[in-house]
Amino acid sequence: MKAIVFAAILAVAAASYINVGDNFNVVIGKETLVNVDVKVRELCILKLLNHILQPTIYEDIREVAREYVLEENTEKYLKTDVVKEFINMFKMGMLPRGEIFVHTNTLHLDQAVKVFRVLYFAKDFDYFMKTACWLRERINGGMFVYALTAAVFHRTDCTGITLPAPYEIYPYFFVDSHVINKAFIMKMTKAVTDPVVANYYGIKVTDKNLVVIDWRKGVRHALTQEEQMTYFTEDIDLNTYMYYLHMNYPFWMTNEMYGLNKERRGEIVMYSNLQLLARYRLERLGRNMCDIKPLMFNQPLKYGYWPKIRLHTGDEMPVRYNNMIVVTDENLKLKRLLDDVERMLRDGILTGKIERRDGTVIHLKKAEDAEMLARLILGGVRLVGDDAKVIHLTHLLRKILSYSQYNMNKYTYVPTALDMYTTCLRDPVFWMIMKRVTNTFVMFKDLLPKYTHEELDFPGVKVEHITTDKLVTFMDEYDVDITNALYLDQNEIHKKHSDMIYVARMRRLNHHPFKVNIDVVSDKSVDAVVRIFLGPKFDCLGRLINLNDKRLDMVEIDSFLYKLETGKNTIVRNSLEMHGVIEQRPWIRNIWDKTFDNSGSGFKTVASWWYKTRHGFPHRLLLPLGRQGGLPLQLYVIVSPVRTGMVLPTIDMNTMKERHACRFTVCFDTMPLGFPFDRQIDMTYFFTNNMKFTDVMVYRKDLSTMSNTSKNIDTSNMVMKKDDLTYLDSDMLMHRTYKDVMMMSSDNMLRM
């Protein structure tokens, strides 16, 4: 069977990311892929995702795609109906290859869900791969990446597989257009061999066939003051976190089809949105900016956004200008629908129930009802037969802000930044959308009874001291591999790899690793849950913030189980080991190096933190960018007893452990996420011995005071660019001639 070829020449895949030589071939003596090592499975997936904008460059994938007949193998799937539904849809016509797949387009998403089901319900990994090869050669590339990524996240036989970061698969959504344009110039003109041309564009070419394009070159024009936050909102890892949050908990994965009724999916996604808002609030405080307001329609939208993203079709993501009138004749129907949905939800919260169309009643009175409410708001509860047809407040708001109502659910649709999970955080208005959507959930929480003293207290346990290392943040540099944004020529296709590696050198927020030391005294040996929060002390005007006013701004940076011993316990938590936090996502080129041993004898096992979880908050974004004199914040620690089956008794934690890596406390505690700040606080009895606040300062280290940070950047003829809002003034360096400097000095003298 020629499908064996697919497994036999897997090692060729390595050459697509890094030139490893002809002696690197590995022959795997297996007739199927059912029992192969996880690293072999990983290589299969990586081949499928390589250069997704072109037909596959691997003959083994093409052979499997030609020989496998999907409609004749319906018995190879756990649900035969999903294959029949897909085939019927495929014959009717799908999103054409080459078009942009839009995450929130109803027509696109409906087709993607059917593709996902075929992959998800394949009986074993062998038929999963055959199906994937068949799809790779026949459907839209963006839709294929979306469905395959979701399938890898949720199939048990894909556990441990490392996926390329989305910014390596499709760099267009993450990298400014001028950077990719320069990469095209260098490739098309073969200018990498001409040092004069490379220097003309400010591009560095190394002797290792590496083309480095500095993201900072050129003047960055800003539409609003909000763009001084782009170092955070446009961070590629933060946007990857948002995308993977959706991949982990797709709203269209409903109870009826996938059996998810015993998971805290809705609560996790809602709490993740609340935590993103809290983290954004801290970042704004560091820039002396006040909190954002929820999106409103009774006045023009003050903040515009210029994405500076060009898609592979050549289309630019639309620009939204300042002071845009939101509600028009074209979207009035959507606005009325939004009003009706919000009214239904708020009335349901106030009355304690919502009656569905089929006569069933959704109760919204108790703490455990938060899960159903979150799914109602964010699209996890199906109202009609189609899984994609659900209430989703965020999607409704996105559609109202769309640039074109007439093309919204058509095949040819140029997305806005709001339309894609990979780009929505870049737009300042999306944070206003999140604020409006989460306010409905917060309204429900505010109507719940306040936590009693007994629920807050842990008798016999006292938190005595909290200390930390010096908290230091800085802006460092990182190279993003954008080679997959460029097309391979015939010679490169034959060699299965690009002749040059193209990277974009970007600026990003980072901090030194730190430790939190907690001294706890206990009068007994007992299991405990430790939660650590970081929050503001003063508001943007320098006023001390009331605890009730800042409870939604507390960022949960760590939560974990701990065995307390009788007497004094010193708990030390390294920031690199904090729960739900991941380090830098590895370059796929580096994954190839670690997957094979140097002797050529085959695969080796890689023990790494990376394989524990795919979805985690970036470690380097735990702390907001500080100030040179220090940004005053507060650290809060609460040590609580382990509570299972008490506050949320309907949740099956074993199911959570099987399906997903643990997020927050969902795998070892059933208290509501955000405890004890998720409800209104009664200050008269809130403070107990098992909790403690402490003041901390977050400092900033400038580029000029750092060593070995500027990665061979020549700063001898650079001066500060003071009118740019994208980065800190002291970090934004631009090439200037002596004449430019003198002209700027003259202008300054005239203004005095």
For residue range 202-245, what is the model confidence (pLDDT) as tens digits? 788 887 788 999 887 555 567 788 888 999 999 999 999 999 99
- Give me 222's structure tokens: 């800003």
Predicted pLDDT of residue 384: 54
Q: Which of 31-35, 114-118, 389-393, 587-591 has the highest mean pLDDT?
A: 114-118
* Higher per-residue confidence, 507 vs 739: 507
For residue 649, say if its preceding peptide bond is cis, omega within 30 degrees of 0: no
Rounded Cα distance between 617 and 575, Å, is 12
Predicted pLDDT of residue 621: 96
Q: How far is CA 692 from CA 275, 464, 489, 635, 723, in A?
A: 21, 8, 62, 8, 43
Task: Confirm if 481 and 589 have CB atoms less than 8 A apart.
Answer: yes
- Give me 224's structure tokens: 């609003």
For β-strands 526-536 and 631-641, DSSP reports them as antiparallel
**pLDDT tens per residue, range 681-727:** 999 999 999 999 999 999 998 755 444 443 443 433 333 333 343 34
**pLDDT tens per residue, range 638-675:** 999 998 865 555 555 565 555 555 668 887 888 999 99
Write the DSSP string, 339-379: HHHHHHHHHHHHHTEEE-TTS-EEE-SSGGGHHHHHHHHHT
For β-strands 567-574 and 515-522, DSSP reports them as antiparallel
Domains of the chain: 3-163 (1.20.1370.10), 234-261+321-446 (1.10.1280.10), 264-293+450-469+512-580+616-711 (2.60.40.1520), 712-751 (no CATH)
Segment holding 152, helix H or strand E: helix 141-154
pLDDT confidence band for 318 (50 / 70 / 90): very high
* 3-state SS assignment for residue 40: helix
CA-wise closest residue to 461 among 523, 399, 396: 523
**What pTM does this model have?**
0.88
Predicted pLDDT of residue 602: 41
Could you give the percent of the chain with pLDDT greater than 90? 57
Predicted pLDDT of residue 703: 57
Give the 3-state secondary structure of 88-107: HHHHHCCCCCCCCCCCCCHH
Predicted pLDDT of residue 749: 39
Predicted pLDDT of residue 725: 39
pLDDT confidence band for 739 (50 / 70 / 90): very low
**pLDDT tens per residue, range 278-296:** 999 999 999 999 999 999 9
| Those residues with Cβ within 8 angstroms of residue 131's Cβ, 6 or more apart along the chain or in another chain | 68, 70, 118, 119, 122
Query: Is pLDDT of 548 > 70?
Result: yes
Mean pLDDT for all residues in the chain: 82
Task: Confirm if 480 and 533 have CB atoms less than 8 A apart.
Answer: no
Predicted pLDDT of residue 255: 77
Predicted pLDDT of residue 590: 72
**pLDDT tens per residue, range 126-140:** 999 999 999 999 999
Q: Which of 15-24, 207-216, 299-308, 591-600 has the highest mean pLDDT?
A: 299-308
- Give me 90's structure tokens: 């495929």
What is the per-residue burial (b if ≥16 Cβ within 10 Å, else e) of 517-549?
ebebebeeebebbbbbbbbbbebeeeeebebee
**pLDDT tens per residue, range 156-209:** 999 888 899 999 999 999 999 999 999 998 888 776 667 777 777 778 888 778
* Higher per-residue confidence, 359 vs 339: 339
Predicted pLDDT of residue 220: 58
* Higher per-residue confidence, 621 vs 735: 621
Average pLDDT over residues 465-487: 94
Query: Is pLDDT of 620 > 70?
Result: yes
Q: How far is CA 191 from CA 274, 325, 506, in A?
A: 47, 46, 22
Predicted pLDDT of residue 35: 73
Q: 10 Å Cβ neighbour count for 672?
A: 22
Predicted pLDDT of residue 652: 59
CA-wise closest residue to 127 among 136, 114, 118: 118
- For residues 627, 628, 634, 637, the Cα torsion angle rounded to the nearest 10 degrees is 110
Predicted pLDDT of residue 665: 82
Predicted pLDDT of residue 655: 57
Predicted pLDDT of residue 256: 75
Segment holding 268, helix H or strand E: helix 265-286
Could you give the percent of the chain with pLDDT greater than 70? 80
Predicted pLDDT of residue 722: 38
- Give me 712's structure tokens: 């061979």
pLDDT confidence band for 599 (50 / 70 / 90): very low
Rounded Cα distance between 564 and 556, Å, is 21
Task: Confirm if 86 and 118 have CB atoms less than 8 A apart.
Answer: yes
Single-letter amino acid code for the residue at 617: F
Predicted pLDDT of residue 611: 40
Predicted pLDDT of residue 206: 82
Average pLDDT over residues 296-302: 91
Rounded Cα distance between 470 and 513, Å, is 10
Predicted pLDDT of residue 747: 42
C-alpha R_g of the chain: 27
End-to-end CA gap in the chain: 82
